[in-house]
Amino acid sequence: MCLKFPAGGNSGLRDSIHSNSRSVMDYNVSIDFIRSPFLVQEWKFMSKAGIRRETLRLDMIQSSSVKYQDADIIIFNTGHWWTHQKTYKGDSYFQEGNHVYDKLEVRDAFSKALRTWAQWVDSNINTTQTMVFFRGYSASHFKGGQWNSGGSCDGETQPIANDTYLSPYPWMMRTLESVIQTMKTPVHFLNITRMTDYRKDGHPSVFGQTEEFRRPGMVQDCSHWCLPGVPDSWNELLYAILVSSQK
């Protein structure tokens, strides 16, 4: 069996943390993690002024797709990279064909990218051989700003117990759900958004550094998750679906 994760961060696959591509062989199973933060292709070109520029090709699936289209199981994921400043501002960053948008709202860009992904899946995946999953967007818990503007989540030792403190359901997941509904390929949606929203205590925060290197105001990691921890539940959900599909 071949199980592959084309995804951004937070894969939940322990052997693949901080790697672009990693294979793990055991029990006659190969598992690959393939880094693809946006699922569509990051692009570089020379402008008329001779300046090297970066764009995101919303109309082109990332070239790494050739590495996983014949897998038995594919688990897609994208999300957090769409909230980064360059992406979210959308100024002269998004491209379709030869056209670079002077300004494009990130919601529109995300929708275009997911439709490109959906068209690629419908055209290239053999559903008699391959099961397709899409794992949703996991919550972050910055307080007082984002990761680069004073946001923090250290000192959290308990999950959220009162639902009124949960965040609104992300627009990205509503967009994903609407795209999946238009596809001819069956896609198993692993919706982990709400379950992660409860776990404000599950992030590395400042504790990714040893105590001697921690400093007031240091950047905190509240977008990723401690291992073992929350991502283990994602793997259990995946396992439950795989087991039930064999019955």
Mean pLDDT score of the chain = 86
Predicted pLDDT of residue 170? 92
pLDDT tens across 195-229, in order? 999 999 999 998 888 888 888 777 888 888 999 99
Between residues 200 and 247, which one has the greater pLDDT?
200
- Contact predicate 103/91, CB 8 Å: yes
What is the arrangement of strands in the sheet containing 73-76, beginning at the earlier edge strand?
A: 21-26, 29-35, 2-7, 73-76, 131-135, 187-190
- Check pLDDT > 90 for residue 245: no
Q: Where are the domains of the chain?
A: 2-139+169-192+231-245
Angle formed by the axes of helices 106-124 and 171-180, to 10°?
30
Which structure tokens are listed for 87? 């992406």
pLDDT tens across 174-194, in order? 999 999 999 999 999 999 999
Residue closest to 153 by CA, chosen among 245, 75, 231, 224: 224
Residue spans of beta strands (DSSP E) within the chain: 2-7, 21-26, 29-35, 40-46, 52-61, 73-76, 94-96, 99-100, 131-135, 187-190
- Contact predicate 144/220, CB 8 Å: no
Query: Over pLDDT 90: what percentage of the chain?
Result: 55
Question: Given the DSSP bridges, would you call strands 131-135 and 99-100 parallel, antiparallel or unpaired?
Answer: unpaired
Is the CATH code 1.10.15 the one for domain 2-139+169-192+231-245? Answer: no
Between residues 150 and 90, which one has the greater pLDDT?
90
Predicted pLDDT of residue 4? 58
What is the arrangement of strands in the sheet containing 52-61, beginning at the earlier edge strand?
A: 40-46, 52-61, 94-96, 99-100
Q: Please give the average per-residue pLDDT across 141-165, as a whole number.
A: 85
Between residues 146 and 71, which one has the greater pLDDT?
71
Predicted pLDDT of residue 201? 94
Question: Is residue 218 helix, strand or coil?
Answer: coil
Work out the burial of residue 55: count CB atoms within 10 Å of its CB; fewer than 13 is exposed, 13-18 middle, 19 or more buried.
middle
- Check pLDDT > 60 for residue 149: yes
Which structure tokens are listed for 121? 């899946």
Largest CA distance in the chain: 61
Which structure tokens are listed for 204? 């590395």
Alpha helices in the chain (DSSP H): 85-89, 106-124, 171-180, 193-197, 230-245
Predicted pLDDT of residue 9? 52
Between residues 25 and 169, which one has the greater pLDDT?
169
- Check pLDDT > 90 for residue 68: no
Q: Please give the average per-residue pLDDT across 35-43, as a whole number.
A: 92
Between residues 1 and 110, which one has the greater pLDDT?
110
- Check pLDDT > 70 for residue 127: yes
